[in-house]
Structure 1
Amino acid sequence: MKTIGVQGSMGAGFAIDMTCGNHQVFIDQPRSALGTDTGPSPLELVLAALGGCFGTIGRFVAHQRKIVLRGMRFEIEADYDPAGLLGRDASVRPGFEEVRLRVEIDADLNQEQKLEFLREVERRCPLVDNLLHGTRLHSELAA
């Protein structure tokens, strides 16, 4: 078992400053949502992380299968109803209803092989697993 962690705190307005290892990640809301647009929203960051996970796992799978993977491109979009996260309607879930991921694979594989490669990447991606299988969350107040 391996444990990873990040730390962060609220900044001005809706800004959040997170430290991820040696990296700073700034999370915010667009101006239209009362933010200052100094970084992606938390939901955009989840989608970006999903693309990053697919790319990373894609490299692992290609290396293990001795496939020359010249590149992957990702288009990711998701639908959610803001009424849930804003507390306007308790019957609406605050999370994504659907995530759509379109992947272009640049490798010497036919369409069937590319699809099989994509399914293997999807099967091994930790973020896909977290999105699909409801990882347990334990939140508590710090002392």
Structure 2
Amino acid sequence: MTITTTPVDNGINLQALLDAREALSADPTAAEFEWRASCTWVSGTHSHSTVEGFRGLGAEQSHKAVFHYDLDHPECFASEDHGPTPTELVLVGLAGCLTAGVAAVAQMRSIQLRAVTATVRGELNLLGVLGADPDVRNGFQTIKVHFAVEADASPADVEALVAQSQKRSAVYDLVVNPTDVTVTVN
């Protein structure tokens, strides 16, 4: 019997990730990153945000392109619905970070992925945001993430991929742990 092995390819440059981990461990100051976004009010609840540069690896960096995002609220809030709400963008960030982590961990563990879909639902009571009930939190009361993963792996191995992704996700950490946020005005 002949056994052939097909290399796992989830689109992750595993060697680059391992090299980066080693290099950043040797020079921890290069691992300090500052991510930035700017937002300009357009009208009503509509705003336009851009993401271009960031600081990391000891120097200023930039994306290949400037990314643009229009944010707004839906018409049922007496708004124009020019884009997703800011809270929806948080859910997008969480889903994207966890999904990227699943792909990277799968590559590291030699698991071929066929399909990965993350569905994120956040429950938020507007009475808090509107100031109508001081006992209702302004933010999400709960966030639920569900993964549908098709992979050449057992269900237990897939659950382990998702668990490791949670453990290493910057956005998951941001959502579940307090972060010191400072707001200033000129």
TM-score (norm 1): 0.94
Query: d(CA) in 2 for partners of 1:109 and 1:33?
Result: 45
Which residue of structure 2 aligns with residue 70 of structure 1?
Answer: 114
Unaligned runs of 5+ in 1: none
- Give the Cα–Cα distance (whole angstroms) in 2 for the partners of residues 82 and 54 of structure 1: 27
Match of 1:100 in 2: 144
- Indicate yes or no: 2:46 matched with 1:15: yes
The answer for the alignment partner of 2:172 in structure 1 is 128
Opposite residue 109 of structure 1, the aligned amino acid is A
Secondary structure of the residue aligned to 1:89 is: coil
Q: Larger radius of gyration, structure 1 or 2? A: 2
* Partner Cα distance (2:105, 2:46) in 1: 36
Determine the C-alpha separation between the residues in 2 that align with 1:120 and 1:89: 38
- Displacement of 1:35 after TM fit? 1.4
Partner of 2:17: none
The offset of 1:63, in angstroms, is 2.1
Which residue identity is paired with 1:91?
A: D
CA distance in 2, matches of 1:92, 1:27: 24
Identity across the alignment (%): 24
RMSD: 1.1
- Structure 2: distance between partners of 1:68 and 1:111: 13
Distance 1:20 1:26 in 2: 12
Residues 72-101 of structure 1: per-residue CA shift (max 9 Å, x gap): 101111111101111111221101111011
Give 2:20's aligned residue.
none
Could you tell me how far apart the structure 1 residues matched to 2:97 and 2:42 are? 27
Greater than 4 Å deviation, 4+ residue runs: none
Note the C-alpha offset of 1:134. 0.8
Give the one of 79, 84, 96 matched to 1:40: 84
Counting strand residues as a fraction of each chain, which structure ranks higher?
2
Name the residue aligned to 2:103.
Answer: 59
The alignment of Structure 1 onto Structure 2 pairs a total of residues equal to 142
SS in 2 for 1:44: helix
The unaligned stretches of length 5 or more in structure 2 are 1-31, 53-65
Instruction: State the Cα distance separating 1:126 from its structure 2 match.
Output: 0.9
- Partner Cα separation in structure 2 for residue 92 and residue 46 of structure 1: 20
